[in-house]
Amino acid sequence: MKQAILKTVGMTALAFTFTTAAADPLKIGISAEPYPPFTFKGSDGSWTGFEVELGQALCEKMQAECEITPTGWSGIFAALDSGKIDMIMNSLSITEQRKEVIDFTDPYYFTPSAYVAAKSDSFDIPEGLDGKLLGVQGGTTNATYARRELRDTGVEIKIYDQQEQANRDLFAGRVDAILADKVAMTELVERDEASEYEIRATAPRHAAFGEGVGIGLRQSDDDLRQRLNQAISEALEDGTCTDLSQEYFGTDICGS
Amino acid sequence: MNFTWITDPYYQEYLWTGFFNTLALVGVSGTLGLVLAVIFALLQLNGPKPVAWFVRGITTVVRGTPLLVQLFFFYDGVGRLLPEIPGIRESLFWPMLRDPFFYGALTFTLSVGAYSGEVIRGALLSVPSGELAAGRAFGLSRWQILYRLWLPRAIQLCLPTLTGEMILLLKSVPLVSTIAMMDLLKAANLVRDETFLVYEPLLLIAGIYIAMTLVLTTAMRIIEQRFPGVQPAKAQRRLLPG
């Protein structure tokens, strides 16, 4: 009898989980603007990249059904708030300011930021930035850091909607340097078109850059946060994250 | 509603920059655009046939394509080919050519030239030919007839429409936020990116735009009334006869 009840409860719970899972897969919000090698479209047109694969691995560990949902970066917080997506997983740095409006999981990776400039244009960073034009992507910790901490260097900041725009304007000579995630910049300077460009300096670790990168969640989703934290700690321990990191970056960026 | 961020000097600075950049863009492209519009209109009516066709072609292309596409064409297309020209990065023009303001002003000037050019062309055609004949009878030269009679009469006729064109120009300016230029929308986006408030900064700049439009409309209304040959009282109201 007891067993039967347990079984019924179990079945109901299972059915419930199943229906919610089938009707509502967890929507992993990523930026609709590609951010290689974290998120980009593969040759077959579907989304892939370090964070796409890691996100799918986390979902497997949670035994949840997930769906990659590209969302315009500028509206991604509103999309989370309104329930169009359930998490933001796109190199989202954990900062105090963001914590006031969303919750974060534990960090799963941290990388410093780096400056890229033309090899022929030899000025020092940050000392020689006076009168130079620096391109950053808006809504990133790089933009916050540049606007607030580089203010006294005399640099002029240009804020782009997408990182690729800043990259292209660097190549076109419209900005003198760009400041962005070091991993992405390492990948950038390896491109053929970037042969005349180099990583000039690495930004120091600063509060504006936050405590590493975590998954952004609605503040009401405590249950999801706990499940994700569990999955993240498993992925960090069993090497899932490290393997993916080695595959995409040739180095281990996992952990905090 | 949370407007506490307005007190932050960083945001104020960006909002002011955005405001002045908007004014500068409207001022430069409005002025150059109207000059271009007069030239376009006159060339279509009076210029040599091939030139008239050429101007008609430009007008068709500019009016037939979205403004945003034109902006990308100049900034991402033309603007990225320019640096390939040897020596251009060392030239005197380079600071201007790398500035998004230049591409914004170029696009908007062409746009005002094409749209207002057609408005002015229509107005030039609506000036009764008897008035031009009267000018000739008074012994005015061709040039005098043009700038003392035909053009002032035409502009007087289409001023209310040109006011509308200027308002449209003002409201096209936020497009430049897509080419990394600091305008009001870009400033609002900055506030949004850092405070995660979506509606408040947008409401603020919407208010600023309405205020700017009101100032622009009032200024144009005054010009309309003071325009040579217009009687202020008559320009205000006109009742249907009967």
Q: Residue B178: closest CA among chain A residues belongs to which residue?
A: A161
Region B71-94: what's the mean pLDDT? 88
Asked, for residue B232, whether it belongs to a domain, the answer is no
CATH at residue B24: 1.10.3720.10
Say if residues A221 and A23 touch (Cβ distance below 8 Å). no
Superfamily of domain A113-209: Periplasmic binding protein-like II (3.40.190.10)
Residue A176 is classified by DSSP as S
In a domain, B226, yes or no: no
The total domain count for chain B is: 1
Classify residue B198: in a domain, yes or no: no
Residue A215: both structure tokens together? 């998954």
Which ranges of B73-198 would DSSP assign to H, the alpha helix?
79-81, 94-97, 100-126, 129-137, 142-144, 151-172, 184-195
* Domain A2-109+211-249 class, CATH top level: alpha beta
Q: Which helix (H) or strand (E) holds B23?
A: helix B9-46
Domain that holds residue B166: 18-78+93-181
Contacts of B70 (CB under 8 A, 6+ apart): B62, B107, B110, B111
Tokens of B78: 């033309």
Inter-chain CB proximity B198 and A174 less than 8 Å: no
At residue A129, the 3 state secondary structure works out as helix
Question: A174 and B182 in contact by Cβ < 8 A?
Answer: no
B193 vs A: CB within 8 A: yes
Question: With contact defined as beta carbons under 8 Å apart, do A199 and A186 qualify?
Answer: yes
B contact residues 37-76, partner A, Cβ 8 Å cutoff = 76
Q: What is the mean predicted confidence (pLDDT) over A100-107?
A: 93
Give per-residue pLDDT as tens, A227-240.
999 999 999 999 99
Nearest to A161 among B76, B79, B178 (CB): B178
pLDDT tens, residue by residue, A201-220: 999 888 888 888 999 999 99
As a whole number, the mean pLDDT across chain A is 87
Specify the pLDDT at position A20: 45
Tell me, yes or no, whether B11 lies in a domain: no
Cα–Cα distance, A89 to A41 (Å, whole number): 16
ipTM of the complex: 0.82
Domain annotation covers residue B10: no
The alpha carbon dihedral of A27, A29, A34, A36 has a sign of negative
Look at residue B182 and tell me whether its pLDDT is greater than 70.
yes
pLDDT at B94 over 80: yes
Amino acid type, A1: M
| Cβ contact, residue pair A135, B98, below 8 Å | no
Neighbours of A120 (CB within 10 A): 7
In chain A, where the domains are located: 2-109+211-249, 113-209
In three-state secondary structure terms, A253 is: coil
Q: Which two tokens stand for residue B115?
A: 């749209």
